[in-house]
Amino acid sequence: MTPPADDRAPTPAPPTTIDPTTPSVARVYDAFLGGTDHYASDVAVFEQVNAVAPQMADLARSTRDWLVRAVRYLAGTAGMDQFLDLGAGLPSAENTHQVAQRYNGDARVAYVDIDPVVAAHGRALLEENQQTRLVQADLTRPDDIWAHPEISGFLELDQPLVLMQSGTIHHVPDSEGPQEIMERYIELLPSGSYIAFMHFHDPEDDGPGTELARFVEQVFAQGDMGSGFFRTREQLTRFLHGTELLDPGLVRLEDWWPNGPHLQPLTVADQVALAGVARKP
């Protein structure tokens, strides 16, 4: 069933102050990548996971590598020149705009993130690139994103574009309707658009992958960070209902358009994330 437009109360203003005592998704991810833009509360989350599952740092890097491969395909092979990157995170090597503009000089990239740290760093990074924007907004409100003047005035939202949902929806709890949020985004996307999608995965096989997924979810979602949910393949597939998955489908990060054969054996952490690229007919 087609979801209705978002009729919730008006969006509260995004936060403008930083609370260093509460871990942030973007800053914890920065800690996993070995960055420097985080606080003690973020490091505490990282260390709790890293002590038991150091492979999760490798998964964070694999996520970035997958994003690069996906954007390379979309900007190059698919010829896409508009990217809406939700949950942009803190700047790191090989951001979406760098990859996209390398393969398509006309590519425009709009980043969206609600974290004030991301907004400050991102705007400083992008101020000299006229084909990029960074907007501080709530990605759980698709209609607000589509109506935001800094986005609608920069991207042609009635023309095909790429929606980047890499590592975002797994931070939306069931109580906030992640399925309905994805349905609304897909409804808003023009025909011929693509979705680059990555999400934490619980194999639900009672093996090491499930054990790791449930441990990390307990630290992330039930701890101070308050998010980071591992869902089943069936749930993840439903998020992309109404689109056509490109080969090889929804797979482990290392299996989506790899650069060549696996040079290192896959770890348990490789079982706890799936990714794919889908097209809206």
Average pLDDT value over all residues in the chain = 86
- CATH number of this structure's domain 25-279, picked from the four choices 3.40.50.970, 3.20.20.450, 3.40.50.150, 3.20.20.70: 3.40.50.150
Question: Residue 202: pLDDT band by 50, 70, 90 thresholds?
Answer: very high
Residue 182 or 224, more confident: 182
Single out the residue of 117, 123, 156, 155 nearest to residue 35, CA to CA. Answer: 117
Task: For residue 4, count other CB atoms closer than 10 A to its CB.
Answer: 10
Report d(CA 129, CA 95) in Å as an integer.
13
**Highest mean pLDDT out of 88-92, 120-124, 127-131:** 127-131
pLDDT band at 10 (very low <50, low <70, confident <90, very high): low
**Averaged pLDDT, 177-188:** 98
Dihedral, CA of residue 191, residue 197, residue 203 and residue 208, to nearest 10: 170
> pLDDT tier at 88 (50, 70, 90 boundaries)?
confident
- Rounded to whole angstroms, the Cα distance separating 42 from 23 reads 5
Q: Are 20 and 40 in contact (CB under 8 A)?
A: yes
User: Tens digit of pLDDT for each residue in 148-174?
Assistant: 999 999 999 999 999 999 999 999 999
